[in-house]
Amino acid sequence: MTIVGFVLMGLGIAFTVIGSVGMVRFHDVYSRLQASGVSDNAGLGLILLGAVLHGGWQAHDAPLLLLLVLILLTNPIVTHSIARSAFVQQHQEGDDT
């Protein structure tokens, strides 16, 4: 299980790094939200699952799974709120504010 845990954590780090590069390279708020929203969910989910599988199931892994569920529930809500705010404020593409 240790190797599977390391592989999952490595994939999670790769997703997170790719999302961070997307945040820097993309120019408008909607593209940045796409890059950050997808990569944060996938990256953090893989990192937390890898951490749980790395040492086998133990009692202190329950908060990690609770954190995973919390992130998977709140991240789409936050992404939607930011996108709605940008839409209501009539944010234009190419506007970097």
User: Residue 81 corresponds to which tokens in the numbers above?
Assistant: 């709120």
- Average pLDDT, integer, range 36-65: 85
The confidence band for 11, taking pLDDT boundaries of 50, 70 and 90, is very high
The candidate with the shortest Cα–Cα distance to 64, out of 81, 83, 84, 44, is 44
Q: Whole-prediction pTM value?
A: 0.78
pLDDT digits (tens, 9 = 90+) for 61-81: 888 888 889 988 998 898 899
